[in-house]
Amino acid sequence: MSPPSSSSPLRKRIFVGTFIHTPILSPPTISVLENAVVGVDERGVIGFIEEQVEGLYEWDNEDGDSVDGLTRGMRDVMVKNGWEVKDVEEAVVGGYSGSGWWFPGFVDTHTHASQLPNTGLFGTTTLLDWLETYTFPLESRFSSLSHARRVYSRAVTSTLSHGTTTCAYYATIHPESTNLLADICMDKGQRAFVGKVCMDCKDTCPDYYREESAEASLESTKAVVRHIRSKDPKGELVQPIVTPRFAPSCTKASLATLGQLAEDESLPIQTHISENKGEIALVKQMFPECGSYAGVYDSFHLLTPRTVLAHAVHLHDAEVKLIKNRGSAVSHCPLSNTSLGSGICPVRKLLDHGVKVGLGTDFSGGGSCSLLTAAREASGVSRLLGNFEKMKGASTRDMERMKLSVAECLYLATKGGAECMGLEKKVGAFEVGMEWDAQLVRLERVPEDGDEDRRGGERGDEGTVQCWGNESWEEKVAKWMYCGDDRNTRKVYVKGRLVHDRS
């Protein structure tokens, strides 16, 4: 079933069932609202939330139907909140007999839309030779708009199908295809930050894939900013983002002008930091006067409260403190950190220092465009890091503290990512006044009589997660995080609009 056009007008809707979110990090909390109704208005904003509603599933007749498609409990809630039945387009029920729930849409704080065709390709390379062998040749092809359309359409469709309602995208150095990516995000209804990659350094960028100068890089970036703002002046759905690839790819002149542009135009910034030790050595060689990798960005006014730094695997304590003081955020990318052998980001250390942290898929360095997979990997690598610290003499208590819980990983995938992108008042949780960015999750319920022939739909259509009927909501969420995939994501909404429907 195709979702409606992103330009079609909205009407009020109510959403019914169980709602689960992770609204706070300390203490880590999985909040469950059962027998609940959420009202979403014409702007896609949550108008009310009511839980434990009486008569929620009491239909007008025994066939489970009614003239207006509503139950007694739904009508009562609407009247209580001043809504009239005639103004509501539909009630979307997501209960599914205890095996389904509504969850906030994922916020992917770092990925490369152009690299989707290379997902899973990295051989035995590490970061710098991976860029030369796989990435730069691929990205150089995006001067072709037909090629860009093919890749970017699939990238946005794929991330939406995995429940990602907000995505921070790196494009390439080509302004026309970057504009196309922004247009596709708007057409498909995905909330996005879209950045033209900036890289003009002759010493580190190949001749066939490099901008002519700092001035050329700046002007093409300005052109992208103008284009996106012409299509979405208030940045309600898609925003431009300043995107120096990473410090070694840019001249000092380019970093300086990009920092000034971000300040003048109040733009967010995204880049990479301390992903790989060879990269860090290169930064030290190119910018000896700056003292550290983080110090490079700070020197050029690129370390701001709207900056998202991907990876941050090998930061020194002074850099962590600097990032915290500047209010910048870190995108934890466990999939690519593992694939490229870069190391393990000490997320607990960053959180303990008050640094904002979200999750990034970082495909194609990461082997999946699923942020659920990234959350799963974040849990796994945190456990490995705890064991490594134990081997180096850490106490059992300190080892256990390194581990990220299910609630923490899902917080990073939703509310934490929203904080990184400056959207924490809009998305990432279910609260009155926030926008309806949500996904409907459904797991398979194993037939109690063992009759496998009674399973609905195609075999395996609901994924590999199995519910046996005795799990708590928290256990169902854990099963989903550790075993789920896009087959469990049945519907996806952005700003109240249906953008993906697998039902």
pLDDT in tens, 104-161: 999 999 999 999 999 888 878 788 888 989 999 999 999 999 999 999 999 999 999 9
**Conformational region of residue 245, where left means phi above 0, alpha means psi within -120 to 50, and beta covers everything else:** alpha
Closest CA to 164 of 104, 229, 96: 104
What integer pLDDT is reported at residue 458 of this predicted model? 46
pLDDT at 2 over 50: no
> Given pLDDT bands bounded at 50, 70 and 90, which one contains residue 461?
confident
What integer pLDDT is reported at residue 456 of this predicted model? 52
pLDDT at 477 over 60: yes
pLDDT at 470 over 60: yes
What integer pLDDT is reported at residue 65 of this predicted model? 61
What integer pLDDT is reported at residue 62 of this predicted model? 63
Cis peptide leading into residue 364 (ω within 30°): yes
**Is 280 within 8 Å of 319 (Cβ atoms)?**
no
Percent of the chain exceeding pLDDT 90 equals 82
DSSP 8-state assignment for residue 305: T
Distance CA 128, CA 480 (A): 35
What integer pLDDT is reported at residue 355 of this predicted model? 98
What integer pLDDT is reported at residue 95 of this predicted model? 64
**pLDDT, mean of residues 308-328:** 98
pLDDT tens digits for 350-382? 999 999 999 999 998 889 999 999 999 999 999
**Structure tokens, 54:** 């009486």
Closest CA to 276 of 240, 239, 310, 241: 310
Return the minimum-mean-pLDDT range out of 45-54, 135-144, 440-449: 440-449
What integer pLDDT is reported at residue 457 of this predicted model? 47
pLDDT at 455 over 80: no
pLDDT at 4 over 50: no
pLDDT at 252 over 50: yes
Beta strand 438-442 pairing with 100-104: antiparallel
- Average pLDDT, rounded, for the chain: 93
What integer pLDDT is reported at residue 128 of this predicted model? 85
What integer pLDDT is reported at residue 67 of this predicted model? 62
Return the minimum-mean-pLDDT range out of 5-14, 85-94, 110-119, 456-465: 456-465
pLDDT tens digits for 390-437? 788 888 888 889 999 999 999 999 999 999 999 999 999 999 999 999
Per-residue buried b or exposed e for 417-434, using 16+ beta carbons within 10 Å of the residue's own CB? bbbbbbbbebbbbbeeeb
Task: Give the residue with greater pLDDT, 97 vs 426.
Answer: 426
pLDDT at 1 over 60: no
What integer pLDDT is reported at residue 6 of this predicted model? 56
